[in-house]
Amino acid sequence: MTAIPLGCNTHLIDIDLYRPRLGGCYLIQDGDELALIDCGTQQSLPQIKNALTDIGADLEQVRWIIPTHVHLDHAGGAGQLMRLCENATLITHPKGLPHMIDPTHLIAGAVGVYGETAFNQHFGGLEPIDENRCIAAEDQQTFDLGQRQLTFIHTPGHANHHGCIFDAASAWLYTGDTFGLGYQELATPKSFLIATTTPVAFNPDDWQESLDRMLAMNPDAVCLTHFGKHDDPAGLALMLRESIENHREIALKEEALNNPEDRYQRLTAALKQSLCAQAMAHTGLSENRVYEILSSDIKLNAQGLNIWLARRARQRENSEVAT
């Protein structure tokens, strides 16, 4: 069964990105109306169609398609899906919406991060979306789904165009990447969360503030794109806050060396040592198994921290010029 029931007329769909249980999206149903929160890549469409069949629904019932942000594992398939879901409207953050209407720069940025071969293999092309079928969601803007109410919350930190969605009917918060990575292979015995600092807009101060705003909604659970539903949001937030600060500390130690040459390699090594040690202590798994699970994220996080340090350097230079 592709649609994994979570309760509250909500299903998790494994989009089978890279490996099972790495990336997902969420299907919420109320009456004859459906909302899809995150939608994976173009290659995710078969899983979404199968999930609709599992619950006895069809594409025409999809009212809202809501990418939490426009990174391709969350929004890469939005254009194709909008073309097929003729009654749907796309909702996303105002800063992300232009990239859904014209994905040219989004494609170029993704190719720069993943390389052209990996981009074509895992993400494929992106289809533009008619601006008239899109809404740039304001902070705390609400949207009706049947008798339910979904609230869009601006949550920068992982990305400056990130938003989370709170479903008042279930009291569940759909967090995209702003509540970190929580792979089920590492949930032994309890959830293990780490920050994701993938390029290009990591901002630890904004992220900590976003966590405050998310917890102010008093969610009963958080539903992560990577991956699944997790209980005890307040307790897990402490773990994620520590991970954000750990990433900041690693980056600032590197910044103090004042040596950009080979910086990415050093960041990668430092993150591997730190994150693998934390995961091993939490799970009891071997270093090889932990690294197998986290290797891609370690490399992407290192890229993101490298870009953050470069941005800080430019800001200092601009400040010195201004004075």
The more confident residue out of 248 and 317 is 248
Residue 123 above 90 pLDDT? no
Average pLDDT score over the chain: 94
The model's pLDDT over 219-233, given as tens digits with 9 standing for 90+, comes to 999 999 999 999 999
313 and 209 Cβ atoms separated by less than 8 Å: no
Model confidence at 323, in pLDDT bands (50, 70, 90)?
Answer: low
Q: Which element (helix H / strand E) includes 135?
A: strand 134-136
Determine the 3-state secondary structure of 144 from DSSP. Answer: strand
Residue 32 is which amino acid? D
Question: Domains of the chain by range and CATH?
Answer: 1-92+94-136 (3.60.15.10)
Give residue 169's pLDDT. Answer: 97
Question: Which pLDDT score, from 0 to 100, does residue 17 have?
Answer: 85
pLDDT, one tens digit per residue, over 282-306 is 999 999 999 999 999 999 999 999 9
pLDDT (0 to 100) of residue 2: 86
Does position 1 have pLDDT exceeding 70, yes or no?
no
- At 320, the amino acid letter reads E
Q: Is the pLDDT of residue 138 over 70?
A: yes
Q: Dump the DSSP string for 28-89.
A: EEETTEEEEE----GGGHHHHHHHHHHTT--GGGEEEEE-SS-SHHHHTTHHHHHHH-TT-E
Give CA–CA dist 68/91, Å, rounded. Answer: 9
* Cα distance between residue 288 and residue 5, in whole Å: 32
Span 102-115, pLDDT tens digits = 998 888 877 877 78
Q: State the maximum Cα–Cα separation within the chain, in Å, rounded to a whole number.
A: 64
How does residue 18 score in pLDDT terms, banded at 50, 70 and 90? confident
